[in-house]
Amino acid sequence: MAGNIELLNSVLAQAKAENRAALVGYLPAGFPTVDGGIRAMTEMLDGGCDIVEVGLPHSDPVLDGPVIQTADDIALRGGVKIVDVIRTVREVHAATGAPVLCMTYWNPVDAYGVERFAADLAEAGGAGCILPDLPVEESEVWRKAAEQHGLATVFVVAPSSRDERLAKITAAGSGFVYAASLMGVTGTRESVGREAQDLVARTRATTELPVCVGLGVSTPAQAAEVAAFADGVIVGSAFVKRLLVAGDDLTAGLAGLRTLAGELAEGVRNRS
């Protein structure tokens, strides 16, 4: 089976045609368990997410905050392996028909085997990979394998990226560009929102690819704010928190995820 980059492209294009941003949800595989995670991501998509990112839990997730690190730790202590990540992609995509991406640091892919990882992800119906710590300069081997298997290669840009660097990153990527910022962590939300808006504008000047923003968005109002200037709104920690708060009550956690997905989906449709 070829990968699903075309499905990803069409879902993003459909959201644009509806004059709204796409809603992208994130959860690590194996959290709270492998089966529980599959059910959780399915609920997120059924509740209103357009796309889901399956995180590959890593022992040193340098770019993730404490909430996602906690979930990664639970998954790793539960013994999650790459085969479980691939199974999660397969079952979530099969259950929903939605684009499912894998978000992973480079080391696990390198250790597993680049060609093997791309082939297995595509065979599972995956749409592509987000690789936050893979420098464009060192990405050729991965990009060739991804292209061969019909997978998107999504790179991450940040407010610190200079325009020349942005052009280099976006020229190498496919699917969409992940614009990372830190709402609510550095300064006030308003000022960080402006910084993200500036980053989106600078990124769009270099590419036709959609630009999706991961900003620590957790409320419908924040989703609407970001949706006003981005092609997609990426939400991770807020979903993870709903499951963490539910603890051992998976039924309550799943209901919380579906509710949050619905509220955020309403938010991206009410862009200001």
What does the domain layout of the chain look like in residue ranges? 4-269
pLDDT at position 35, please?
98
Nearest of 175, 183, 89, 173 to residue 134 by alpha carbon: 173
Of the chain, the end-to-end C-alpha distance in Å amounts to: 40
User: What architecture is the 4-269 domain classified under in CATH?
Assistant: Alpha-Beta Barrel (3.20)
Contact status, residue 196 vs residue 234, Cβ threshold 8 Å: no
Q: What is the DSSP letter of 82?
A: H
pLDDT number for residue 153? 98
| pTM score | 0.95
35 is known as an active-site residue: no
22-28: strand order across its sheet: 152-154, 128-130, 100-103, 51-55, 22-28, 232-235, 211-214, 177-180, 156-157
For the segment 226-253, what is each residue's pLDDT rounded down to a tens digit? 999 999 999 999 999 999 999 999 999 9
pLDDT in tens, 193-205: 788 899 999 999 9
CB 234 within 8 A of CB 178: yes
Active site (annotated) includes residue 133: no
Whether the Cβ atoms of residue 22 and residue 11 lie closer than 8 Å to each other: yes
Distances in whole angstroms, Cα of residue 128 to Cα of each of 53, 122, 215: 9, 8, 21
Q: Pick the catalytic residue: 53, 195, 225, 231?
A: 53
Structure-token match 């019909």, residue found? 150
Q: Which two tokens stand for residue 188?
A: 């006030």
pLDDT value for 218: 87
Q: Which residues of the chain have pLDDT under 50?
A: 183-189
Helices (H), 97-184: 106-112, 114-123, 140-148, 163-172
The catalytic residue among 18, 43, 60, 64 is 64
Number of Cβ within 10 Å of residue 97's Cβ equals 13
CA proximity to 237, closest of 65, 100, 21: 65
